[in-house]
């Protein structure tokens, strides 16, 4: 997919026909890469239970897409799949499309991001948007654990772009998506490492160790209180 997308760089400019040709190549490469993984999921005969949202969370994870069960439930609802079994190729493609549409964000996540982008734009009246302002906005949405990745994510945008004027909401969401993916992947990896028997459940002590690895030190009583609030 990246190769197909990078082929745009070979064009001095693109008309609509060129753009459609590149888009078709990107879609084709993506489908070719995903199809064997979807087939493998359908061919796997092990019991998965009746919780479709949880099944689809695990399915997306097998594609490298980390989401919470609550977000997947919203995703299925938005994609018209809330009352479907998602056990055929067509419906799995619709699940992938539903994730692509929301990029793994819940409605609440998107609303918060819009509010933060509006606040950032209001507090930055000049044409120049500093990386510090963007960092503060992104950290208000993500966790402090991802702070070490901020410079890299903002750097991908480029200093030249920052000099050209305020960021659009789309550009802001691209950076938020990168940090969100890093955070979710790190938490999922930490949980999976602690879940040694692979039953999807960890003990309080294991949860405390996971949080410590993510930079949070909690007393057992504090963790218990947090679990009671969820």
With 0-12 / 13-18 / 19 or more C-beta atoms within 10 angstroms meaning exposed / middle / buried, residue 223 is: middle
Could you list the pLDDT tens digit for every one of the 230 residues in the chain?
566 556 666 667 778 887 888 788 888 888 899 999 999 999 998 888 899 999 999 999 999 999 999 999 999 999 899 899 999 999 999 999 999 888 889 999 999 999 999 988 887 665 566 778 888 888 888 765 666 788 788 888 777 777 777 788 988 898 898 888 888 888 888 888 888 888 888 887 788 777 777 777 767 777 677 667 65
DSSP one-letter code for 167: P
Residue 25, pLDDT score: 82
Residue 97, pLDDT score: 93
Angle at 171 between CA 170 and CA 173, to 5 degrees: 65
Cα separation, 56 vs 102, in Å, equals 15
Tokens encoding 101:
């549409």
Picking from 123, 118, 124, 99, the residue whose alpha carbon sits closest to that of residue 180 is: 99
Residue 202, pLDDT score: 84
Residue 11, pLDDT score: 67
Residue 98, pLDDT score: 93
């Amino acid at each position: 997919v990246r190769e197909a997308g990078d082929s745009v760089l070979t064009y001095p400019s693109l008309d609509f026909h060129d753009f459609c040709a590149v888009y078709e190549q990107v879609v084709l490469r993506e489908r070719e890469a995903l199809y064997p993984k979807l087939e493998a999921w359908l061919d796997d005969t092990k019991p998965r239970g009746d919780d479709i949202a949880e099944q689809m969370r695990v399915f997306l994870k097998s594609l490298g897409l980390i989401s919470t069960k609550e977000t997947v439930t919203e995703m299925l609802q938005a994609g018209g799949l809330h009352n479907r079994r998602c056990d055929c190729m067509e419906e799995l493609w619709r699940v992938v499309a539903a994730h692509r549409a929301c990029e793994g964000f819940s409605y609440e996540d998107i609303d918060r991001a819009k509010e933060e982008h509006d606040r950032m734009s209001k507090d930055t009246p000049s044409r120049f948007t500093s990386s510090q302002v963007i960092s503060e906005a992104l950290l208000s949405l993500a966790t402090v654990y991802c702070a070490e990745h901020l410079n890299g994510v903002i750097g991908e945008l480029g200093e030249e772009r920052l000099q050209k004027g305020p960021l659009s909401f789309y550009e802001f969401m691209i950076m938020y998506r990168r940090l969100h993916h890093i955070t979710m992947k790190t938490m999922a990896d930490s949980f999976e490492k602690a879940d040694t028997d692979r039953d999807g459940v960890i003990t309080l002590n294991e949860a405390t160790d996971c949080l410590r690895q993510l930079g949070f030190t909690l007393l057992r009583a504090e963790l218990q209180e947090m679990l009671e609030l969820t």
